[in-house]
A and B are shown apart, each in its own frame.
Chain A
Amino acid sequence: MGASRSRTENPEIQDLSDQTGFSSEQIRILHRRFRQLSGDEETISKENLEKIQALDKNPIRNQIIEAFFDKRNQKDGKVGSFEEIGFEQFVKVMSHFRPPNLKMTDEDKEAMRREKLRFLFNMHDTDNDGTITLDEYRKVVEELLSKSGAIGPDVAKAISDAAMLEVASINMPHMEPDDFYEGITFEHFEQILKGLEMESRMNIRFLDVDTSTMHCGKSQ
């Protein structure tokens, strides 16, 4: 975790760039943003992120912030969560959202898709046990609908239940009557979202040009 040291020294940027696939220019822009968010500290804590005004309106703000502090999203096989993250972790989480480029092979795309799905899955699976239980699923759906105004928790519940039923019926069509469907595993998760096009959705176009001057005061 040489996060704190990987600031402006070129080799480190290069290193990060190799790991994450961002261009060094993009990393520089992200780093500027990182410093801005952390208040010029080496690390970012949850409070830093919660302060972002633009996120206030986001119904799944908590999930998004959690995702940054989730060790699973660092792709190094650890579980648990950080108290604070450095720039390296920050960039690694961001790297889930790199758009595909024309040079990628189909395998690369498939891997990328899995990576993105894994990110979503981790967002659901808050207790790290590898399955999304009904409760976890419900929570996300509830949050998702929570900013929509008149939708009560009843509806959210009904919907998540329905969704869960759907998952179960898609994945386990021939379950024995006394089997219990514990929750959505990652394989099942992939299965239910098989038809969904992710390539065009789970992407951020990371800019090569700094736009922080272009949005007047909205970021913080």
Chain B
Amino acid sequence: MWRRWELVFGALLLASYWGGTRGQDADPSPGTAATPGPPVPVPQPDGPQAFPEPEKANLPMFTMDYGRIQIPFEFTLWVLLASFAKIGFHVYHKITIWIPESCLLIVIGLVVGGIMHAVKEEPPAVLDSNVFFLYMLPPIVLENGYFMPARPFFENTGTVLWYAVVGTLWNSVGIGLSLYAVCQIEVFGVQDINLQENLLFASIISAVDPVAVISVFEDISVNEQLFIVVFGEGLFNDAVTVVLYNMFTFVADMPVVESSDVFLAMARFFVVGLGGLLFGLLFGVAGAFTSRFTNNVRSIEPLFVFMYTYLAYLVAELFAISSIMAIVVCAITMKSYLEENVSQGSCTTIRHVVKMLACISETLIFFFLGVVTVTTDHEWNWAYVLFTLLFAFVWRGLGVLVLTQIINPFRTIPFNFKDQFGLAYGGLRGAICFALVFTLPDNINRRSLFVTASIAIIIFTVFIQGISIRPLVEYINIRRTNNKHQTINEEIHTRLMEHTISGLQDLCGQWSHYYWKDKFMKFNEHVLRRILIRDNRAESSIVALYKKLELQNAIELLDTSLGDLSAAPSLVSLTDEKKASSRPKKTFLMGDVRKMRDNLSKNLYKINQRTTAWTNKDGLHENRQAREILIRRHHTIRRSVRMGSFRDQVRHRFNSIPKSQRYYSLQPGMNLESALPLRRTSHDSSRIAFLIIPSFFYVPNPNPRQTPKPSDEKARSDIVEMKEGRLRAVQPPPSPRSSSRSFTGRLGTVKEATPRPPSPGLDVIHESPVSSRGPRAKGPLPTPRRSLFHRVQGGEEGDKQQQEEKEEEEELSVELQGEAGDVPQPPPLPPPPGWVPENQQSHRAGDPLLRHSSQGSRGSSRF
């Protein structure tokens, strides 16, 4: 990392050198328009200079015009440098666990600043007030707003706003006044700082920046309330701080402040805040509404998020109202609707770009903080700096204590002392604070003292508190919650609890935010969603989660090249989610893939056991493969088999392919034969043989206890089986012969594809003999088809039917010639005990889990 880093730095210096010598004349035009900012480096407005000067006689062979590209060039190098540093931190992962990233960035900035100072290089003028407010700040705030966890936030809005607004006011006024008092003491030599300036400074340093704390809290999964309060406070207190900052910079200019000005200022405070809210809502709704119509222009879909939020920001800035508030509200409003309208790809893009922009901004700010710390002239005043630190700490602590006492009676879950400690100690100062102080106008007397004091407090809090907060929070054992592993049960019960609570509140005639939530949901359902969402299906969050998990699993399968999307299991996927989320998703190393397969196989295994178990209470002795196929299919069956009852099958047989086959079965018009080779090639085809038999016959396993434990090899076979499961899906349950015939007809080619398999009807996938599964596959487990006949016979059928059955199975059997030839013929088995009881369950025919048995009985009873 260092080599690379030095390389970039070298390039940077070189570039600056050239800029200094060669590009003297092409001064970067001052002012805002020409200065580049993070989102888009604005090109120089100087116009093209492609043509040589007229007075030059001959065409130069080689020209260089550094001045023209200087600013975007240098900007790019800075971003690169900072990004390389970021990569560097994560090379050794443990660093970032114990030391917050911002600390490391500041350190690197200090080093770079030191070098620049040594060679007398000016720091880049990226951070002037306009650049900061127009380009650096919006991405950071947008990120916070966009990724704000909505539900906890709305459940705690009051508390969040209480801390953000009142807390920040409290801190600003408290610190400002105490510092002013300190300034009156002569020995310190700071009497020339008046009250307004003290308040201005205090408002700057009361902006807390929760980034470092948030990442710690996330890691140790601190309780939801504390998390959201820290998160929301950081977000909204930026808004408050910026308002205060603007107000006090204005006031600091005024020679005399009258009492009416104070009231005007307070009134303005509300105008600014509520105005931001209004503009945010306006643009948020507009953005959501626009996204309704973007389904034909997917490629620019993500753009709307950025344009609308930025527009909200700029317009708010135009009217000098809280632009942070505007952008946050805009993002929150837009997000939920927009994400339903845009495609999956766009959604991912949006999230990534939002994250990326914010990351760049923040990295740059911390980086420059380090550089500036070294390169600017400081005015060090021990008393002022130390008192600032002290007051910042004391007022923060006091503020949290007092404000919590006030808010606790209104909270259902009061904050205990540990929570309060976390809240107070999490008050790190950060990027916003630095940027604000650095953009102070020059007419402030002691500007450089303020800069010094702010940098001191930032470095102090970021380093001392930032590093110590993790061990401390772990030590005092703050209330934790586990909100990461969302399983479908948890989602169901969350909803169940919500409805219960809301119902009980209605019952006892009290209302709280659930009442308003209900009202809002109703409004949302009936008005907002209708207007803002293209494909308006009211969707319960359970269903949404369910779909999400399914999709995620499908993608995962795709990523691991274990299978294609269409083969994704539906229900099976659910328990994978938990593990999947904790797994790194970006890179799939060999180990990861292996682990994933392992997980997958285990999960599949478990799940399968369960389902079969329900289907027949007596525990039919099936072999495992059969069970797994059953499971993967049971969803499918519902779709492909149940579209209409079996009686309708004949009528429908050519046109009744359900629409919803996308995961489960062959495409309409595609035949079994053409699908199979395809699937084979996507796997280790030479080692796998598909032996397909009517899937509703589950071969009893004579020796279930011998079933080997799931192994690594099993994982892959699971996937293969999954695919087979899919194939099964198009294959009808055969025992009701009329229906299976109809399906055979539909499948067309199945009949031709029948070289009689040497060992007919193994409901097993054989892996290669070298795999550890090999012996099992060949051993006692692959039970013969014959046993099926016996079973059926034992059930209800006669000899003749058995004969027919056989023929039919021949028709249906498709064998892809792998190494199936050497599979031994297992002995016939007696009918399993579970067969008859199973049929008794046919009253639950609509049940997907039970479908196969009921069909079996229903079908055969027709003979």
Contact = CB atoms under 8 A, between A and B. Distances in A.
Interface stretch (A3-11, A13-21, A81-89, A177-185): A177-185
A211 B603 contact: no
B704 A176 contact: yes
B503 A166 contact: no
Given A151-B543, A162-B571, A59 B510 contact: no
A123 interface: yes
Contacts of B537: 149-150
A30 B509 CA distance: 9
A205 B508 CA distance: 11
Contact of B490 (A154, A177, A195): A195
B787 interface: no
3 A-B pairs closest in CB distance: A178-B619, A168-B610, A54-B506
26 contacts: A55-B507, A60-B500, A60-B503, A64-B504, A99-B413, A141-B542, A144-B540, A151-B538, A158-B638, A159-B492, A159-B542, A161-B849, A165-B572, A165-B575, A166-B489, A169-B606, A170-B575, A195-B487, A197-B224, A199-B413, A200-B223, A201-B494, A203-B412, A203-B501, A204-B412, A206-B510
B412 A99 contact: yes
Nearest to B490: A196
Given A94-B504, A177-B704, A180-B617, 5 more contacts: A57-B518, A60-B499, A157-B847, A159-B543, A204-B412
B849 A33 contact: no
Given A58-B499, A198-B497, A145 B504 contact: no
B482 A120 contact: no
A178 B703 CA distance: 11
B624 interface: yes
B465 interface: no
Interface in B593-611: 602-603, 606-607, 609-611
Contacts of B606: 168-169, 172-173, 175
B509, B540, B707: most-surrounded residue (chain A CB, <10 A): B509
Interface in A60-115: 60-61, 63-64, 94, 97, 99-102
B352 interface: no
B494 A196 contact: yes
Interface in A108-143: 120, 123, 134, 140-141
A101 B506 contact: no
B822 interface: no
B168 interface: no
B634 to A, nearest CB: 8
A183 B718 CA distance: 26
Contacts of A176: 704-705
A177 B624 contact: yes
Could you say which interface size class chain A belongs to? 35 or more
Nearest to B639: A154
A145 B491 CA distance: 12
Given A60-B503, A211-B510, A157 B543 contact: no
Interface residues of B, number: 80
Contacts of A165: 571-572, 574-575, 607, 610-611
B829 to A, nearest CB: 15
A33 B489 contact: no
Given A165-B611, A203-B413, A192 B489 contact: yes
B849 A166 contact: no
Contact of A201 (B416, B497, B504, B849): B497
Interface in B605-635: 606-607, 609-611, 613-614, 617-622, 624, 627, 634-635
Contact of A120 (B483, B497, B571, B847): B497
A179 B501 CA distance: 37
B507 A144 contact: no
A211 B495 CA distance: 26
A207 B510 CA distance: 8
B421 interface: no
B571 A219 contact: no
B52 interface: no
Interface in B556-599: 570-572, 574-575
B543 A145 contact: yes
B296 interface: no
Given A158-B635, A180-B619, A193-B489, A144 B499 contact: yes
B840 interface: no
Contacts of B575: 165-166, 169-170
A197 B503 contact: no
A199 B482 CA distance: 12
A182 B155 CA distance: 37
Nearest to B611: A165
B614 A181 contact: yes
Nearest to A203: B412
A171 to B, nearest CB: 10
B511 interface: yes
B627 A144 contact: no
A100 B508 CA distance: 19
Nearest to A67: B500
Contacts of A37: 507
Contacts of A101: 414
Contact of B497 (A54, A58, A202): A202
Interface in B815-856: 847-849
Nearest to B545: A159
A144 B503 contact: no
B638 A181 contact: no
B401 interface: no
A159 B572 CA distance: 12
B226 to A, nearest CB: 11
A179 B609 contact: yes
A159, A206, A211, A212: most-surrounded residue (chain B CB, <10 A): A159
Contact of A206 (B416, B487, B508): B508
Contacts of B482: 194-197
A133 B256 CA distance: 77
B502 interface: yes
A177 B412 contact: no
B406 to A, nearest CB: 15
A191 to B, nearest CB: 10
A163 B610 contact: no
Contacts of A169: 575, 603, 606-607, 610
Contact of B496 (A140, A192, A197, A215): A140
Contacts of B496: 60, 120, 123, 140, 144
Interface string A46-62: 00010010110111110
B510 A162 contact: no
Contact of A215 (B493, B511, B610): B511
Nearest to A154: B638
Interface string B493-530: 11111111111111111111001001000100100000
B186 interface: no
Interface string B674-718: 000000000000000000000000000100110100000000000
A61 B504 CA distance: 10
B359 interface: no
Contacts of A173: 602, 606
